[in-house]
A and B are shown apart, each in its own frame.
Chain A
């Protein structure tokens, strides 16, 4: 009698059942899209994850003093960002594994498209694992959905994981086109670019004591991409919605986090969260360390160039300075619903604004100095600099921004190639050409003659290029650790603009930071402000670096749940 009633109890829902789901191309396509979907992971509110990452280094910081992850105090196993990044990267992996595993028995019977989608999924999984090993070192590693028995798994060495993803990326590349037909999908260029990026990590950190091998893998992978794509003509075009619509930008953008102003829209608030208080709010700030890394237009560092004037730091600088940073005296135009053009002012209660109807400038209240939120402005909570990258947006409201956020650009492949070759000490013309392409695009001079053939000087240059080219794009989070310069970047308080009673005009021509406190600081472009620090604003007085910060800790919550997970040294 009871069994007869079972039909009554067989109920259905609007969700698909997982068993046997991934047996068609359409299903694998949808599943792959579900993996892409989690690239929208955020470490801060409505901020793409890679935008947050540079703020955990000496290049930038968040609003509150001494609490940014990179600034020391916050980097502990209970830290929320530490937990969130771990958690979210593993969700990408789980979704990928679910598709890969679910389609295993069907994929051979399916066509090229299905295989391409599956290859894309593997690239996304490799991307997540790359971020995990680069950030946390050894981590739990799975290529199939995690079983209950694996809830007590131990960590797998970062070297083994790296080797796996290098192989996986090579295999995946074969199933992918050089340029994806849909913007936002990963393609062969991304697979090789990521392989180059990942191998560079193994090279720099000398995995297995075989750093050279990894540099070679990196150079080879990057080399395959070189020539397949090209740089955009304008650097500025890369970071706003109008520029991103251009074909040359599409060509440089190997991989973007996609946003949209179409239909119901997919937006972020990157610019709104970093501009002047007159046009938005300021929660994230570039550091003076970054600002002072930009060369003068003669290709020389500010302490070495005669073109540098401390009273007008923005003059005669690498054009990328202007594309990336705004400071006191700069004219900034931002769309915050209205088009607002202002002259950024770090000192006066009124600032100059532009009236577009009468084409005239007028004075109005300066919220960076005189408002309830002025304490959080670029000159109070920050150190005098505003991110112009992604903020230089006039075509749409920065509170609902739809420009894409680059995850990988062709410029990175060029510089990764150069760095790998430099570390291999194979200083041939392909190296200079790669660097020159990046520099020439912004009208910076070629690699100077004194660097040719000098590995140290080339290493200095390629690191400097990566810092200034990719500021705010999230690469420095790993670069700083690869280069082992966390102690240099974070070993002193955060200095900034001249104090109000001094002002820029109060600086003298000798108030130039000292990059040469040591050979390491010189080669890594780390300025020291001790000589005139009394004239400068200072924050993060407790900023410090500990060797253990080379890796983030395994989240405490994860170790609570699986006590078999060991912790990184020092935590």
Chain B
């Protein structure tokens, strides 16, 4: 299928119009939504065949542009575009065609750069409207921000018909320009500029590229569409937007770029620091809330694609845009399109950076003396004897810790690195001939973690090839190879090691003064665990292959078939190597006591996908119609096995074979899943201003029983381009484009995920093995049913209404997009909390509904002051969630799911400061009812209700209420950029307006089950410090003291504003580079997460998921990089 997009950009001025015509071929090369925008240069013949008996000259230009890579540039004041001509050439060169075409006319032509044809009228040059008035001669050069000459830029004197166009060097010359005239420079794809001449005779001008071009084509489901014709809420991002961020993965780079798309990076762990993407709020209770991510039409991991290989990312936010993906698209769709080669010749580029990571913030644990003092205070507060005698404290004060008899271990310093290396390299090669194109990208990314033996590296190789075999047949083969490797200490997770490094008490032994390992907490020594206790290595090879065949037998019709196979393996390998611990000079224990052990695991997931689709489009008079229909099958097979042994006698021999055979153990699993789908779409447009789109998709999933499998997901959307109406003409001066649109549709969800793992047979009461008992001291193979079954489950559905407005104003310098939506999720697939006495985990049910409604706003401004170009983009969005129907059920825990409340609201007691005196305690109800257990300095709770709905003088279950919302509201970002003489500067601010974070256990409380205390937690209540941040200091042995129940006391605002990214770059002048045969060379430095304003607990990053204190800090990153293109 070939879509012909003809568009003309008119300058807004009365005179000196430039007619510009340009054909762009969009070639759908993949049925499964993988679409390749190809410039007109691609795969076009340089020989022309024309047989036109009667037509005006612009028709001929169009036809030539269609057949070839040539573009015409001319001033339509100089060329009689209505001139009727006839021409008949066969397989002729462009020179021959032009010669024939302009024979006997005043038009001269020049072919520039092999593809631009500049036309001028030799008798029509630079005519002044008032020949009598003398002006001066103005010359200059028009370039783009990278100093490349712009050819064919229209230059006119405002208010006159006097004008010219630039030549192949971007040079122009205008005679008889009056003083203080305004020169208007306009060029397709670039923002027009008006410049006052003043006294200057030399005017060099830089034109800014118009990134919000109306002619922009965006990738949509199974195809592409012109932005102006979009009726749904679709937004896209280009490669540059992503690469500029210099982060290790694409999901994090998306953060803040699109309103309504929330990306939270809750961990900084190498290889696991990708952002969690949600589009327009949490879309499901228990099934997946992640958008469908398609990489060239095939489901994949967005973080495993080299950003340099990405052409664009489209986000389909509303149901109408997404519903062509039906069942998979309930949470929106992210379409990643990788680059393909275009044109002839070879282009090579390299982009690489090296940087340093450092945690954004970390809690600051106390030293030994501070710790012991605080412990004694806490014990005194509970009428307990001091734990550390004055004698011991004196020894520490006078002699200090010798780390053999008395310890003062700085666990944080010993475990957590201050800085860690990160570097990234990406080489792209793009080349081709008329028949064949290849794009290749190889990337390598390496990130060192903040603790020892914690690294991540990724190698990627992508090969996208296209071959046009005949005029009507095109084939292609894409290969994607990836290998990621992650290493972690194998005895404990990095998060847990970091948690221990922050919370282990300083009086535990870490490293003895003779260099031996300390006993830590009963042998658990995070320093030794991270450094010597063994490494777990996970290697993830991935191979993806896709082939396609594209048929274009006649105009407007296109058929495409593709088949892809993606194989992802995970090979894990770990060897636990126990270490000996000593304390006070005495051997304590070998940790872990079970001895050494080896584990190897392997799993493989193969996903095969077949697509076939056909489309036809036609223009009849002012009607445009396009019909698309297709089908898709997808099947997944997952297999895995693992094996382990213990008792390895000989150091260095760590293969399974070397272990004690009697300890051999192994396991294996298999799962399958399949889907089958049919889809269709109709687009209709009348007079380019009334737009209609209908979508339908039928989906069946193996996740449901026969009879419950099929779901139908329809949608429609409409748009009205008001700016194209004749009555709008007076407003055109300010408003270039104005469109309103609305959509409504239904989507499905079957992607049930539990604990991060897909559930493939949610309807089945399966009986699993692995529940053995040790009769006669030998393990048997016991089986058990562990979940209640429900064979009736079917699709979770969401309906979404979306209304939006798109506007471009003031020469497209200002653009505004606004969307409002209501998203209702019905028949939610959920595991409703069931009584514990059922003894099985909850069945899946289609029950209940909830609603997300919200809005997305994006405003951007782009202009140039003198040599400085600048742009500002602001995004703001909000989503409000409400659980609307749970059939009277509710789920109460730390988080509550109840009708009428936002999903998973924090639920607990309401604090009311501290009890300041015993009298206050005597006069107030206390939690648990036992006033013996409460003292001044304890948190006081409000008695807000009772059995009769009124305060009852007791603090009990009735006094629990909603105390916060864990989900972000008012997410915003501000992107500021400027360019000046090759320098570019970007500042990216991002934040959240409202969010509540609950900190629990070791994440919030000093001395939580034997852990230490942070410096900021020393601000505790005493009679002298009654407004302390923390309550009366207590040893929190089991977390049962009344201060520790869930209350709003432990909730902090998660609102923040952060300097997410700052980049300074410099692009070397072309003059220097051209001598070196370099097209472009840019060097840059960037900083990620430079600063953050927030009010979370000190030491915690508001984006980090800290909760119980186990987390991997989010990183501040400083990078230096180079981008070079040949």
Contact = CB atoms under 8 A, between A and B. Distances in A.
Interface of A: 2, 5-6, 8-19, 21, 27, 30-39, 62-67, 72-74, 76-79, 83, 86-87, 90-95, 97-98, 139-140, 142, 145-146, 148, 151, 153, 182-185, 258-267, 272, 278, 280-281, 336-338, 364-365, 367, 370-373, 375-376, 380, 397, 399-400, 402, 539, 541-542, 544, 555-558, 560-562, 565
Contact of A34 (B771, B839, B890): B771
A87 B836 contact: yes
B593 A30 contact: no
B710 interface: yes
B384 A184 contact: no
B493 interface: no
A262 B522 CA distance: 25
Contact of B835 (A151, A266, A280, A338): A151
Interface in B922-936: 928, 930, 932-933
Contacts of B775: 33, 36, 182-185, 258
Among B375, B407, B505, B773, find the residue whose CB has the most chain A CB atoms closer than 10 A.
B773
Contact of A65 (B384, B664, B928): B384
Contact of A266 (B664, B779, B892): B779
A367 B588 CA distance: 10
B1040 A73 contact: yes
B773 A258 contact: yes
> Which DSSP category, helix, strand, loop or mixed, fits chain A's interface?
loop
Given A260-B778, A373-B522, 16 more contacts: A5-B676, A6-B706, A9-B701, A10-B702, A13-B766, A33-B773, A93-B837, A146-B835, A259-B774, A265-B646, A337-B590, A375-B387, A399-B594, A558-B837, A561-B833, A561-B835
B781 interface: yes
B586 A367 contact: yes
Given A8-B633, A146-B838, A365-B585, A372 B776 contact: no
A37 B772 contact: yes
A83 B674 CA distance: 40
Nearest to A81: B1038
A336 B589 contact: yes
B635 interface: yes
Interface stretch (B222-230, B301-309, B757-765): B757-765
Contact of B766 (A8, A18, A77): A18
Contacts of B788: 145-146
B766 A142 contact: no
B773 A39 contact: yes
Interface in B640-679: 644, 646, 662-665, 668-676
A13 B670 contact: yes
A338 B587 contact: yes
B383 A541 contact: yes
A542 B663 CA distance: 49
B782 A266 contact: no
Contact of A399 (B507, B589, B783, B784): B589
B698 interface: yes
A258 B777 contact: yes
A272 B838 CA distance: 35
Among B585, B646, B1040, find the residue whose CB has the most chain A CB atoms closer than 10 A.
B1040
Interface string B124-153: 000000000000000000000000000000
B957 interface: yes
Given A258-B774, A371-B584, A90 B783 contact: no
B836 A79 contact: no
B668 A17 contact: no
Please give me the 7 A-B residue pairs with the lowest Cβ-Cβ distance, nearest first: A94-B839, A64-B1037, A399-B593, A33-B782, A34-B784, A11-B672, A15-B766
Interface in B663-716: 663-665, 668-676, 698, 700-702, 706, 709-710
B187 to A, nearest CB: 53
B785 A544 contact: no
Interface string B600-636: 0000000000000000000000000000000001010
25 contacts: A6-B706, A6-B709, A8-B674, A11-B673, A11-B760, A13-B766, A18-B767, A32-B782, A34-B782, A37-B782, A37-B784, A64-B1035, A67-B1040, A73-B930, A74-B1038, A93-B837, A146-B837, A146-B838, A259-B777, A263-B665, A263-B779, A280-B589, A281-B522, A337-B589, A560-B893
B480 interface: no
Given A30-B783, A265-B594, A372-B407, A83 B836 contact: yes
B405 interface: yes
B247 interface: no
A151 B594 contact: no
B663 A264 contact: yes
B816 interface: no
A94 B771 CA distance: 14
B1043 to A, nearest CB: 13
A258 to B, nearest CB: 4
B1045 interface: yes
Contact of A74 (B388, B674, B1035, B1040): B1040
Contact of A8 (B676, B767, B789, B1010): B676
B509 interface: yes
Interface string B849-862: 00000000000000
A371 B930 contact: no
B897 to A, nearest CB: 11
A365 B508 contact: no
A264 B665 contact: yes
Contact of A337 (B388, B593, B710, B774): B593
Interface in B571-595: 583-590, 592-594
A31 B784 contact: yes
B834 interface: yes
A558 B835 contact: yes
Contact of A17 (B765, B928, B1010): B765
A485 to B, nearest CB: 22
Given A30-B769, A258-B773, A11 B702 contact: yes
Among B593, B780, B837, find the residue whose CB has the most chain A CB atoms closer than 10 A.
B837
B702 A561 contact: no
B226 to A, nearest CB: 34
B1037 A63 contact: yes
Nearest to B523: A399
A285 to B, nearest CB: 13
A557 B836 contact: yes
A151 B519 CA distance: 49
A89 to B, nearest CB: 9
A140 B837 contact: yes
B124 to A, nearest CB: 65
B768 interface: yes
A147 to B, nearest CB: 9
Contact of A400 (B594, B676, B1040): B594
B388 to A, nearest CB: 8
Contact of B781 (A33, A67, A370): A33
B451 to A, nearest CB: 23
Interface in B355-399: 375, 382-384, 387-388
A255 to B, nearest CB: 12
Nearest to A73: B933
A555 B583 CA distance: 42
A17 B766 contact: yes
Interface in B31-89: none
Contacts of A372: 407, 505, 507-509, 583
A158 B1063 CA distance: 71
A74 B1044 CA distance: 13
Contacts of A142: 837
A521 B835 CA distance: 41
A21 B775 CA distance: 23
Among A63, A91, A264, A402, find the residue whose CB has the most chain B CB atoms closer than 10 A.
A264
B202 interface: no
B1041 interface: yes
Interface string B287-302: 0000000000000000
A375 B387 CA distance: 6
